[in-house]
Amino acid sequence: MKFIPRAFFFAAALVCAHAHAQAPYPNQPIRLIAPFTPGSSSDVTARAIAQQISTTLGQPVVVENKPGANGGIGMQTVARSKPDGYTFAVATVSTTVVPPLISKHVPFDLFKDFVPVATMANTPLLLTVANESPYRSVQDLVAAAKKQPGTLTYGNSAGLYRIAMEAMNHAAGIDLLGIPFRGAAQAATELLGGRITVNPDALGAAAPMLQAKRLRALAMLGSNRTPSLPDVPTMQELGYKGFAFDGWLGVLAPAGTPQAIIDRMHKEIAAAVKTPEIQSLYTRLGMEGTVLSPQAYGEAMKKDTAKYGAVAQQAGIEKE
């Protein structure tokens, strides 16, 4: 038997390891962890984007819903994942910026455990009531809340919704009580059933019920009116100075993810947002396709943290 030097095996192993390390990205399925319930407008959008980038990446991009703990369960899953480009978080204001403002124990640090990849959309928010509700305007609602202190309620299905409604309580001098729900769909069901008074929601989630005349919109909670509901005023127009709660949807990666992978995913997401399929979806959901660079996205989260932190403090929200 011919003798083969040990050095040969060592060199061969190095060659194989190098070849494996240089394998083109991605070479296996990618997970997008969504820290909210299925069926929401954020979930629908994330799945549509995932389908688009699956095609261009040549690998499946799978959305996994992990709701709970104000987004903490899903976000912690990503924070603890290997930063190899195969696990990302679908992020919203409610699952990133807000938890540290309303919870004493948050299982992640937004600015240490994650790096921003891209935003995918802005999500207009609005205040809704059941179509049979006696409240035809925000003024009606506030007047009733003052006459019946402590009896009217709102659906609390996301952190940003709670911040917005407590800011409204503070500004109007009322005390609408927040009723917690696991997801927006459950809150909407309870609103239609007459078990809560009003419900803050994303336009995309509420749109089908608005069109079916099952819900009415009292006001937009964000900075601007929306083209799909041109007659619905903003809270600022109704006299609530500085009242602006705008949602966004984005993608974060675990800290330490290689920059080349961040850049690749940003490029794929930006291209997906421009496709006719996604633009059509955004039109139906009343969303705005906005893609921020990783740096701009990071700065936006810092600004939102400062803004909503000040709101939470002013409204007297105590961490639970």
Show which of 220, 255, 284 is a domain's final residue: 220
Q: Per-residue pLDDT tens for 18-65?
A: 444 567 899 999 999 999 888 888 899 999 999 999 999 999 999 999
Residues 137 and 104 in one domain: no
Show which of 183, 203, 220 is a domain's final residue: 220
Question: Is residue 155 domain-resident?
Answer: yes
Residue 286's H or E segment, with its range, is none
Residues 142 and 163 in one domain: yes
Tell me if residue 150 falls in helix, strand or coil: coil
Task: Report the pLDDT averaged over residues 222-235.
Answer: 91
Question: Is residue 14 domain-resident?
Answer: no
Residues 61 and 116 in one domain: yes
CATH number of the structural domain spanning residue 194:
3.40.190.10
How does the average pLDDT of the chain come out, rounded? 90
Q: Please say if the pLDDT value at position 185 is more than 80.
A: yes
- The structure's pTM equals 0.84
The predicted structure's pLDDT at residue 38: 87
Distance CA 265, CA 237 (A): 39
Distance CA 256, CA 196 (A): 44
For residue 39, the enclosing domain spans 28-122+246-314
| Structural contact between residues 305 and 313, judged by C-beta atoms closer than 8 angstroms | no
| Structural contact between residues 34 and 158, judged by C-beta atoms closer than 8 angstroms | no
Among 177, 176, 203, residue whose Cα is nearest residue 188: 203
Question: Is residue 227 domain-resident?
Answer: no
Residues 104 and 172 in one domain: no
CATH number of the structural domain spanning residue 46:
3.40.190.150
Would you call the peptide bond into 254 cis, given omega within 30 degrees of 0 as the criterion? no
Task: Report the pLDDT averaged over residues 168-187.
Answer: 91
Tell me if residue 282 falls in helix, strand or coil: helix
Q: Confidence class of residue 6 from pLDDT cuts 50, 70 and 90?
A: low
Give every CB contact of residue 29 below 8 A, 6+ residues apart in sequence.
59, 60, 61, 62, 86
The count of domains in the chain is: 2
* Residue 12, token pair as written in the block: 């061969």
The predicted structure's pLDDT at residue 71: 87
Enter the DSSP assignment of 317: P
The predicted structure's pLDDT at residue 20: 46
Whole-Å CA distances, 193 to 185, 196, 208, 219: 12, 8, 17, 21
Question: Is residue 49 domain-resident?
Answer: yes
The predicted structure's pLDDT at residue 5: 53
Q: Can you spell out the DSSP letters for 107-137? A: S--HHHHEEEEEEEEEE-EEEEEETT-S--S
Q: Please say if the pLDDT value at position 14 is more than 70.
A: no
Residues 133 and 209 in one domain: yes
The predicted structure's pLDDT at residue 205: 84
Question: Is residue 2 domain-resident?
Answer: no
Question: Is residue 265 domain-resident?
Answer: yes
Residues 138 and 198 in one domain: yes
Question: Is residue 320 domain-resident?
Answer: no
Give every CB contact of residue 161 below 8 A, 6+ residues apart in sequence.
94, 125, 154, 155, 200, 201
Residues 288 and 140 in one domain: no
Q: Please say if the pLDDT value at position 15 is more than 60.
A: no
Q: Please say if the pLDDT value at position 121 is more than 90.
A: yes
Distance CA 223, CA 205 (A): 19
Among 223, 164, 228, 226, residue whose Cα is nearest residue 198: 164
The predicted structure's pLDDT at residue 39: 81
Q: Please say if the pLDDT value at position 133 is more than 80.
A: yes
Q: Please say if the pLDDT value at position 256 is more than 60.
A: yes
Task: Report the pLDDT averaged over residues 108-118.
Answer: 97
Q: Please say if the pLDDT value at position 315 is more than 90.
A: no
Residues 162 and 93 in one domain: no
Task: Report the pLDDT averaged over residues 111-139.
Answer: 95
Residues 97 and 168 in one domain: no
* Residue 151, token pair as written in the block: 């009896």
Q: Please say if the pLDDT value at position 276 is more than 80.
A: yes
Q: Please say if the pLDDT value at position 204 is more than 90.
A: no
Percent of the chain's residues with pLDDT above 70:
93
Residues 41 and 73 in one domain: yes
| Structural contact between residues 194 and 130, judged by C-beta atoms closer than 8 angstroms | yes
Distance CA 112, CA 255 (A): 7
Task: Kindly provide the b/e burial profile for residues 257-267, where b requires at least 16 CB atoms within 10 angstroms of the residue's own CB.
Answer: beeebbebbbe
